[in-house]
Amino acid sequence: MTDDDRIKLEPSWKEALRAEFDQPYMQQLREFLRQEYAAGKEIYPPGPLIFNALNSTPLDQVKVVILGQDPYHGPGQAHGLCFSVQPGIPTPPSLVNIYKELHRDLNIEIPTHGCLQHWADQGVLLLNTTMTVERANAASHAKKGWEFFTDRIIELVSEHQPNTVFLLWGAHAQSKQKLIDGTKHLVLKSVHPSPLSAYRGFLGCGHFSRTNKFLEQHGLTPVEWALPPL
């Protein structure tokens, strides 16, 4: 995919992931996506935004990782950052609950939009473990190869970055804990912020204040979780 002029990858990630692009799984994933596009299927996010999480947050700037599952599958929503939607799109239910916990935890005013680009620009890697999806077909690109690629991304952060906070919300995200060196990083776990589960422990988890406390203890700049208006 990086050999496509329309799809760019930030240099530090391109170098760190270079070997992955030659792996058989990546060749199979490329072919799968080529066939999907050739069949006229609408794929989200748009090609230039598939790697938005990596392009927004270079490897050496990552200090927090939030894991999602796959992109939103409604028109105009996905832009390559997990839980985030493009400007002008209504805030999805899980993100509403994230905002509720932010308000409870840090007394931050609930934002009027759902675009989390401000977090990504500060070193919060907003990574979906599957990076593309077909319109109106949730999880349609799961188990096509993306998981091998994003597992390697998680491993690279764990290996190369010091004192990173990993926020694992829900069983799918928590299944990635084995990729993280818990002796050097802070791993915070809770149920998913979905309306189906948030009341069982996400609301009240205090992950945002705990993240900033850990970062400050290790001489790192805390995340400004408040989102500026668009």
Q: Is the distance from CB of 192 to CB of 174 less than 8 angstroms? A: no
Looking up residue 183, the CATH number of its domain turns out to be 3.40.470.10
pLDDT for 73: 97
Could you count the other beta carbons within 10 Å of the beta carbon of residue 187? 17
Q: Which of 5, 60, 70, 121 is catalytic?
A: 70
Is the pLDDT at 3 greater than 50? The verdict is no
The domain in which residue 169 lies consists of 3-218
Per-position b or e across 35-59, b if 16+ CB within 10 A of its CB: ebeeeeeebbbbeebbbbbbbbbeb
Residue 70 designated active-site: yes
- The mean per-residue pLDDT over the stretch 116-137 comes to 98
Average model confidence (pLDDT) for the chain? 96
The token pair at 126 is 């907003």
The string of pLDDT tens digits covering residues 198-212 is: 999 999 999 999 999
* Strands annotated E in the chain: 43-44, 64-68, 124-128, 133-134, 165-169, 186-190
Kindly state whether residue 230 falls inside one of the protein's structural domains. Answer: no
Of 130, 157, 181, the closest CA to residue 16 belongs to 157
pLDDT for 6: 54
Sequence length of the chain is 230
Kindly state whether residue 172 falls inside one of the protein's structural domains. Answer: yes
CA atoms within 13 A of residue 49's CA, in its CB half-sphere: 21
Tally of domains in the chain: 1
pLDDT band at 194 (very low <50, low <70, confident <90, very high): very high
- Percentage of the residues of the chain whose pLDDT score is greater than 70: 97
Could you count the other beta carbons within 10 Å of the beta carbon of residue 85? 22
Kindly state whether residue 223 falls inside one of the protein's structural domains. Answer: no
Kindly state whether residue 227 falls inside one of the protein's structural domains. Answer: no
Kindly state whether residue 225 falls inside one of the protein's structural domains. Answer: no
pLDDT band at 4 (very low <50, low <70, confident <90, very high): very low
Distance, in Å, from the CA atom of 124 to the CA atom of 7, rounded to the nearest integer, reads 21
Is the pLDDT at 2 greater than 60? The verdict is no
Kindly state whether residue 226 falls inside one of the protein's structural domains. Answer: no
Kindly state whether residue 143 falls inside one of the protein's structural domains. Answer: yes
Phi, psi of 174 (to 5 degrees): -65, -20
Contacts 24+ apart (CB under 8 A), 30-38: 30/1, 32/141, 32/144, 32/145, 33/1, 33/132, 36/134
Kindly state whether residue 229 falls inside one of the protein's structural domains. Answer: no
The string of pLDDT tens digits covering residues 7-35 is: 689 999 999 999 999 999 999 999 999 99
The string of pLDDT tens digits covering residues 30-82 is: 999 999 999 999 999 999 999 999 999 999 999 999 999 999 999 999 999 99
